[in-house]
Every structure is written in C-alpha cells, then in structure tokens.
Amino acid sequence: MLNPLVKKICAAYTCSFLFFFLIDEIPAFGYQPQVAERVAGNDGKQKHPSKVGDAGAKAAKPEKTAYDYNLPGADGKDVPLSSFKGKYVLVVNLGRKSDYNAQLPALIKDAENYKDKGLVILGVPSNDFGAAEPGTDAEIQKAYADAKVSFPVMAVSKLSGDAEIPIYLYLTKSKGAPAGGPVHWNYTKFFIDKNGKVIARLDPDVTPDSPQMISTIGQILEGRYKPKKEGEKDAAAPGDDDDND
C-alpha cells in the first residue's frame, strides 16, 4: 500500500505532465493562439496592423477633379464636366446687366478663335452679384442667343452662400485651387486643364482681349503655364498695365 502522501505527489506529477503535453500538442489539433501583431508607425509607436491598413486605404483615395462635378444645363439636365475630357475649359460666370458684360463680345471671339486649339468656354449665368442676371432660364437663354453667343450657356446658378453649386466649391476651395477664395463678382474666369484640375483664375478686370488673358490662354494651350502659388501675382502677361484700360 502506498503512503497517502506519496499518492498525492504522484497525482500532482501526472497532472503537470498532462498539462504540458496538451500545451505542446494543441496546435496539431488546428488551434492556433491569435496574437495581435503590432506594426511600428512613422512616429515609432506600435500600431495594430488593421489600423495601418485603414490609413493606407484612406491615403490611396484619389483627389477629386472637375470631372467629378456637373453644371446645370439650360434644358434641366446636368452637364458633366467629364464630357469635356481632353479639352481645356474656361468657366466664366455671366451677368448681362453687369458693367462687365461689355466683355461678352471679346469672350465670344475667344471662343471662336481657340475652339480648334482645344479650348471650350462655358458660361454660367448667376444673379448673385448685383442682381445682374434677372429673369427665367428661358429668358436668359433667349438673351444670350440674341447676342449671338456661340459657346454653351448653362442654367442660372447660385455661386455664393449655402446654395453654392458644388463645382464652384471645387474651383474656389479645393486643394490646389488658385488663390482668391469665393467668387465676388461677375466675369471671374477659371481655367481647367486636360486632367480636370483647376490651374488658373483671372479676376473680372482681366478682359478677354487683354494681353494677360491672351498670354494666359496661349501658355495653357502650349502646356507652358505654371499655376501660381497663393499670394503670387499672375505674371503671365508681358504688360499688365494694359489690362484695365
């Protein structure tokens, strides 16, 4: 007969043996302990790999371009900017009762002179600035048709305030948008390149037949135009003194 103390020692030894045996053999039965690997970030701190993947996915999201937006068409249908891919686009907000509407004939001439070189001009009527574009869409379209406007004229649009149309938010506030902020008056001019990026902005005082405008168009069409940094004066024109005659 074994001493009771010896029995207890043997039992304890047997349990310990079984425990370590099972620990070694559990992976053979398909169980793998799940250990959350951690990845070092740029700041040296350890991060969970799933969070690193999420950050990478967000970083890979492409920036929006003008091609992601529409303009409201005069027929009530949206006009996708993507329909002008492969062209340079000049977007101008119109106001036929504005003093700046004196620029319209020169703008029509630009549209005719440069259409075969890849420039498309889009007119966007707006009544936001000095109530310069009153009337219904039908009346506005008739007025521009009577003025022999050869480029597309969109539906009257809100270009300021809470109802500002999305494309103008892109033109004025997107990453890389030219300096100037929200549109403040009629005949502000935005140039969009063949990749759908807004690259230049000219103020209402820069007339369509001015040296600055003609030089800017020429440089853009030739691929030589370099977008200006914020606070940098547009130096496209050989002589800016002629702009505000």
* 3-state SS class at 53: helix
228-241 residue pLDDT tens:
765 554 544 433 33
Quote the CA–CA distance of 108 and 115 in Å, as a whole number: 11
Domain hosting 97: range is 66-228+235-240
Helix, strand, or coil here: 10?
A: helix
What's the confidence (pLDDT) of residue 206?
Answer: 98
Number of domains in the chain: 1
Q: Are 163 and 131 in contact (CB under 8 A)?
A: no
Q: Is 202 helix (H, G, I), strand (E, B) or coil?
A: strand
pLDDT at 16 over 60: no
State the maximum Cα–Cα separation within the chain, in Å, rounded to a whole number.
Answer: 122
Taking the CA atoms of 244, 102, 177 and 82 in sequence, report the sign of the dihedral they define: negative
Which secondary structure element, helix H or strand E, spans residue 121, and what is its range? strand 119-125
pLDDT in tens, 66-103: 999 999 999 999 999 999 999 999 999 999 999 999 99
Give me the residue label for tokens 């103008």: 168
**Mean pLDDT lowest for which of 151-160, 191-200, 230-239?**
230-239
Q: Residue 219 carries which side chain, given as an amino acid letter?
A: Q
Residue 10 in any domain: the answer is no
CB 167 within 8 A of CB 69: yes
pLDDT, tens digit, 9 for 90 and up, residues 160-175: 999 999 999 999 999 8
Structure tokens at 181: 């902020």
pLDDT tens digits for range 24-75:
554 544 545 454 445 455 555 555 555 555 555 556 678 899 999 999 999 9
Distance of alpha carbon 69 from alpha carbon 65, whole angstroms? 8
- Asked, for residue 18, whether it belongs to a domain, the answer is no
Residue 4 lies in a domain: no
Average pLDDT, the chain: 82
For residue 112, tell me if it sits in a domain: yes
CB atoms within 10 A of CB 16: 10
Note the pLDDT of residue 169.
97
For residue 203, the 8-state DSSP code is: -
* pLDDT tens string 108-144: 999 999 999 999 999 999 999 999 999 999 999 999 9
Residue 49 is predicted with a pLDDT of 53
Give the pLDDT score at 139.
97
* 92: helix, strand or coil: strand
In a domain, 21, yes or no: no
DSSP bridge partners of 70 = 80
Predicted pLDDT of residue 149: 98
CATH number, domain with residue 197: 3.40.30.10
Query: Residue 106 falls within a domain, yes or no?
Result: yes
Q: CA torsion 159→165→166→172, rounded to 10°?
A: 0
Coil/strand/helix, residue 151: coil
**Within a domain: 14:** no
- Residue 46 included in any domain: no
Nearest to 206 by CA among 173, 235, 228: 235
